[in-house]
Amino acid sequence: MNAPASALTNPKTHMAVLLVLSVTHLLNDLIQSLIPAIYPIIKDAYALDFGQIGLITLTFQIAGSLFQPAVGHITDRRPMPYSTVVGMLFTLSGLVGLAFASSYAFILASVACIGIGSSIFHPEATRMARYASGGRQGLAQGLFQVGGQTGGALGPLLAALIIVPRGQATLAWFSALAFLAIILMVWTAGKHTEIRRQIEAAKASMSGAFARRHSHSQKTVLLGLTILTILMFSKNAYGESFRSFYTFYLMERFGVSITSSQLMLFVFLVSAAAGALIGGIVGDKIGRYRIIWISVLGPLPLTLLLPFADLFWTGVLTIAINLIMASAFASILIYAMELAPDRVGLIGGLFYGLNFGLGGIAAAILGGLADRIGIEAVYQLCAFLPLVGLLTWFLPKIEDR
């Protein structure tokens, strides 16, 4: 066995790279999560209705999804590790703009910049995590996800402790985190270049065998990606009902304060971080197919109970629901990568883009429904979304490699 080929037959897991990628994902998503976290503040300050709140989320999510597949497709042909730095510069400009926005239009432009930053970051960072995994793909994507989910959870907490009492302008304080992310991204980009060269040399030495083992028919790929997309939409629609409207639901149904609702949102989102990591690790053991079944359909009994629970059980149920549901993403992403292993950037961009875009569409729809039928009725309708998980039955049965 020659040296290049051993990079595939006996791969090395680069834990330092995975951990730093997780931290950069944390910083990126922390900044993103400040957007819904300040909704209660800007709703009053700018006299916005739920439809306008949903439009802010839609603008952010569409900007975050629009370029991701295109960026992934381009970087599949020509990897650009340092593009993550460019993405963070967009995020930084949007963050500062949001801190000093003087109108609703300025808010929309600022969140669009933050979305564009994420659209550039995720495809290449996903490729980095896959190359650094050493074959432990569930662990790699789980660590990458736990960083993003933790960052998403910290946003509402920091908003409750810093932004709510001190005002919208304090968003500019978080620009320090963007500068830290840029420094870390420069380091990971250099390491990624080294690892990628080793992997590509190994593939070149085993090109025939590698292509035969990793090819699927076009029909199989299209069917699999279509079903995974629908599953992703159902998962994101339910999740977005919490990310954008959970604080309003708690305040309306139980009369809690803004700070208390933000703290409950933080606990809810922490459970997503734990679920993402657990789902990735367990997926390495029992397979992606089983994890997708459990995570998408499994929460159904809990979601049906949620609209009728008191405050205490609402907290318990939402943690359990998100813990289970969040375990799906790493397995869905890896399953898609197994369908199209030579299009890692495109798949990463497509599914992170879907994560943004479908969530934004869901937020706009749910915001309009909340204005018409009430926020509590929206949660009663969303309780049936996990039924879409039955489509998992039709997923192509491919091997985890």
Residue pLDDT, tens place only, 87-128: 999 999 999 988 888 888 889 999 999 989 988 898 888 888
Rounded to the nearest angstrom, the gap between the alpha carbon of residue 224 and the centroid of all alpha carbons in its chain is: 20
- Give the tens place of pLDDT for each residue, 213-236: 556 788 888 898 899 988 888 888
- Average pLDDT for consecutive 10-residue bins of the chain (401 residues)? 50 87 93 82 80 82 78 81 91 90 88 90 86 83 84 79 82 92 93 80 60 68 89 83 81 84 78 80 82 87 92 91 84 85 80 71 82 87 89 79 44
Report the mean per-residue pLDDT for the chain: 82
Task: Give, to the nearest 10 degrees, the angle between helix 328-339 and helix 218-254.
Answer: 160
- pLDDT at position 213 is 52
- pLDDT at position 204 is 65
- pLDDT at position 176 is 93
- pLDDT at position 207 is 55
In 3-state terms, what secondary structure has residue 324? helix
Cα(129)–Cα(198) distance, rounded to whole angstroms?
15
Please state the three-class secondary structure of 123-187 as a single string.
HHHHHHHHHCCCCCHHHHHHHHHHHHHHHHHHHHHHHHHHHHHHCHHHHHHHHHHHHHHHHHHHH
Please give the angle made by the CA atoms of 283, 210 and 140, to the nearest 5 degrees.
Answer: 30
Domains of the chain by range and CATH?
A: 14-198+218-394 (1.20.1250.20)
117 touches 88 (CB < 8 A): yes
- pLDDT at position 1 is 44
333 touches 240 (CB < 8 A): no
> Dihedral (C-alpha) 347, 350, 351, 352: value to the nearest 10 degrees?
110
Q: How many helices (H) and strands (E) does the chain have?
A: 19, 0
Rounded to the nearest angstrom, the gap between the alpha carbon of residue 351 and the centroid of all alpha carbons in its chain is: 9
Pair of tokens at residue 143: 């660590």
- pLDDT at position 177 is 93
Handedness of CA 322, 235, 398, 79 (dihedral sign): negative
Cα(186)–Cα(267) distance, rounded to whole angstroms?
32
- pLDDT at position 91 is 93
